[in-house]
Amino acid sequence: MDENRSLNDAVYVGSDHAGFELKKYVVNMLKEKGVKVVDEGPSEYDKDDDYPDYAEKVCRKISGSSGRGILICGTGQGMERTANKFPGVYASVCWDEFTARVAKEHGNINVLCLGGRITKDTDAKKIVDIWLNEPFSGDERHRRRIDKITRIEKRYMKTE
């Protein structure tokens, strides 16, 4: 686990309609582990909701903080694209244990994106466990790459 975090730090969670059922599962799983969860919605299924709305709710809380989030849409790709528009948010779609481990160990992601239409509950549990518990490796090459991304972010992103 990251040295600056504990399992009691809040995890912000949001989904669209395609991720709604998996979100309910993930929220319950996190609560059972004793993780503080802030569910940013939706609170009920709405076939007409849009993933950018929920990605924004979660990422506004995380941008510029040490917060973490989980976003779920049909494939995770829409959430990932939206989340990565926020300064300080590093999101990645993870579809198995390997991608989760590498995203955390090498990229130190603070937002995990899942695909509600492609991720089984049992796989989501494994992926979330890895994301919660695996530390960032801290290797110089990974720090160097993240620093480069941060410099690009500062150069091109406008903040409100």
Which of 17, 59, 94, 106 is catalytic? The answer is 106
17 is catalytic: no
DSSP 33-76: TT--EEE-S-SS--TT--HHHHHHHHHHHHTTSS-EEEEEESSS
Residue 124 in tokens: 């989501």
The answer for residues whose C-beta is within 8 angstroms of residue 64's C-beta and 6 or more apart is 87, 88
Give the span between the Cα atoms of 42 and 90, in whole angstroms: 22
Which of 17, 59, 73, 94 is catalytic? The answer is 73
Which positions are catalytic? 73, 106
